[in-house]
Structure 1
């Protein structure tokens, strides 16, 4: 027979939620940095950056 589980406390729920948000923010930051790095070196395959020609 199935028995209902005890309810998770609000503080425990909040701790898990903030940990998940921090983890998600970390990966988003890492992706953004990686994209910026590839754009600056010109190795990006997902963005097409128009090169500005300077008169020398």
Structure 2
């Protein structure tokens, strides 16, 4: 699954506000190559950094 797809899923589930902005954050900070598919406990209001760290562990 591409980071843009994951960003869209997170936006659709109200975890992030803007999928495009979050995907750019992932790419700019080299998280896009480290994303791990799985189940995560994420909440509304988490920063881009917090979400990126959670989904790349």
- How does the TM-score come out when normalised to structure 1? 0.27
Higher gyration radius (CA) = 1
Q: Which has the higher contact order (CA 8 A, sep 6+)?
A: 2
Q: Which has the larger share of helix?
A: 1
